[in-house]
């Protein structure tokens, strides 16, 4: 769960050995507050490769999506998805652990559908323990200060 002055995001994963459900919802302030969300089921074939099926909602545009996930070298998590309209989407995520307490999360989403647009977000966070972190959140549109809670 993340909350900052420019974005609120919740991400929940329910996992069992080879199966995973992921729910991600966010509301971001560009010119006004806009919401979006993903609900995906992943079936892992090994520790690097998964099949993904689910749906996304971006700015009141809802789409069914299917694709593959792969963990690239340097632990970059990638997803290649195609929606029910035949448009591609690529997601990349990476965590950089700079010190024992300071880390950065970077996320990039490219969509072939130009009216939905690309998204970029990066954080610079200080975490004294595993549950709580505080810091800065940069998106494609603004910079905000906030916190992160993990449970």
Report yes or no on whether pTM surpasses 0.85.
yes
Superfamily for domain range 2-149: monomeric porin ompg (2.40.160.40)
Query: Apex CA 61: angle with CA 123 and CA 51, to 5°?
Result: 70
- Please list the helix, strand and coil fractions of the chain in percent, rounded to the nearest 5, in that order: 0, 70, 25
Give the separation between CA 36 and CA 4, rounded to whole angstroms. Answer: 16
CA dist 134 and 68 (Å) reads: 32
For 107-129, the pLDDT digits (tens) are 999 999 888 889 999 999 999 99
pLDDT for the residue numbered 76: 98
* Structure confidence by residue, pLDDT tens digits, 21-51: 999 999 987 777 888 999 999 999 999 999 9
Residue (of 111, 95, 91, 5) closest to 50 by Cα position: 91
- The one-character DSSP state at 115 is T
Distance CA 116, CA 3 (A): 23
How much is the pLDDT for 110? 95
Going by pLDDT thresholds of 50, 70 and 90, the confidence category of residue 133 is: very high
Residue 144 near residue 6 (C-beta atoms within 8 A): yes
DSSP state letter for 60: T
């Amino acid at each position: 769960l993340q909350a900052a002055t420019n974005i609120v995001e919740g991400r929940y994963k329910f996992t069992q050995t080879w199966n995973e459900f992921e729910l991600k919802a966010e509301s971001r302030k560009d010119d006004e507050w806009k919401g979006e969300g993903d609900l995906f089921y992943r079936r892992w074939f090994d520790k690097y490769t998964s099949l993904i099926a689910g749906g996304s909602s971006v700015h009141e545009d809802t789409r069914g999506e299917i694709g593959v996930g792969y963990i690239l070298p340097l632990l970059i998590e990638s997803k290649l998805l195609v929606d029910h309209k035949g448009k591609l989407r690529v997601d990349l995520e990476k965590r950089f652990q700079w010190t024992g307490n300071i880390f950065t999360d970077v996320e990039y989403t490219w969509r072939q559908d130009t009216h939905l647009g690309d998204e970029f977000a990066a954080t610079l966070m200080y975490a004294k323990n595993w549950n709580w972190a505080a810091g800065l959140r940069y998106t494609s549109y603004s910079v905000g200060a906030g916190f992160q809670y993990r449970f």
